[in-house]
Structure 1
Amino acid sequence: MANQVEHSLFPDLYDCFQSERFVTLSTVDFETGGPNVSAISWIYAKDETSLLFAVDQKSRIIQNIGQNPLTVVNVIANGSTYSISGKSSVLLPRLEGVPLKVSLIKLAIDEVRDVMFYGSKISVEPVYEKTYDKSAAERLDRQVLEAMKRA
């Protein structure tokens, strides 16, 4: 897909967002006007034209998109790196069915770009592990994903 611009998620990329996934999220900082990058994992493709993600209600991300909705999600998947850009808005200030106070944000996708440099591919995708109680982490992740799917 190198050098192509899509306006929605293609099937393989959509499938990547059907379970928890490590991504970086870039917003415009409300104080400095510069870039602000965060790592998140609670992200879900509701359909081919939108991504839903959950963040703590006190996250700087919420203040940033309140001032400027332009957002980019960077994901490593399918042997490449993709930049998914669009405008974000708070869909639900409080995501129900989750013990933590998290907000649900919707990214309306404008562009999907393969941004991997020429002549290369990703051979191993990022792997991470939760450093707190594994069963509690799995339960929370399941609660958040189920709540996002219901939204």
Structure 2
Amino acid sequence: MANQVEHELTTELLPLLQKERYVTLATVDFEKKSPNVNAISWVYAPSTKAIRFAIDKRSRIITNIKEEPGVVLTIIANGSTYSVSGKATIAAEKIESVPLKLSLIEVEVEEVRDVMFYGAKIVQNPEYDKTYDADAATKLDRQVMEALKAFES
């Protein structure tokens, strides 16, 4: 997909965004008016045109999106790096079915670009471990992902 612009998630990317995954999110900082990047993992794409994610409702990301809805998600997958840009909205201030105070954000996908530099490929996808109680993490992850899947926009 190098040098190609898509206007929705590809058939290769869609299933990769239908489970918890390491993704970075870039927003415009509401005070500094400069890029702000965060790592997130509760991500779900219900279709090729939308991506949902959950974050702490007190996060600076919320204010950033309210001020400037343009965002970019970066996904490392399939031997490459993808930039997915779009407009974000706060679809739910609080996800009621989850014990933490999380907000649900939905991004309308506008562009998908393969941004890997020429002549290279990713040979290992990012991996991470949860550093808190494994059983609690599994239960919370399941609750959040179910809420992202079930949300009616």
- TM-score, normalised via structure 2 length: 0.98
Does residue 1:45 correspond to 2:45, yes or no?
yes
Mapping of residues 1-151 of structure 1, within 5 Å:
1-151=1-151
- Give the CA deviation at 1:88: 0.3
- Match of 2:2, SS state, is coil
Could you tell me the percent identity over the aligned residues? 57
| Matching residue's letter, 1:123 | V
- Match of 2:12, SS state, is helix
1:101-140 Cα shifts (integer Å, max 9, x gaps): 1000001011000000011110000000000001100110
1:9-38 Cα shifts (integer Å, max 9, x gaps): 011100101110001000000000000000
Q: 2: CA distance between counterparts of 1:6 and 1:142?
A: 31
Unpaired stretches in structure 2, ≥5 consecutive residues: none
Unpaired stretches in structure 1, ≥5 consecutive residues: none
Q: 2: CA distance between counterparts of 1:46 and 1:26?
A: 21
Q: 1: CA distance between counterparts of 2:93 and 2:23?
A: 22
- Give the CA deviation at 1:6: 0.2
Q: 1: CA distance between counterparts of 2:149 and 2:86?
A: 20
- Match of 1:118, SS state, is coil
1:29-78 Cα shifts (integer Å, max 9, x gaps): 00000000000000100110010000000000000000000100001011
- Match of 1:146, SS state, is helix
Q: 1: CA distance between counterparts of 2:74 and 2:45?
A: 14
- Give the CA deviation at 1:96: 2.0
- Match of 1:19, SS state, is coil
* Coordinate RMSD, CA, aligned: 0.5
- Give the number of equivalent residue pairs: 151
- TM-score, normalised via structure 1 length: 0.99
- Match of 1:11, SS state, is coil
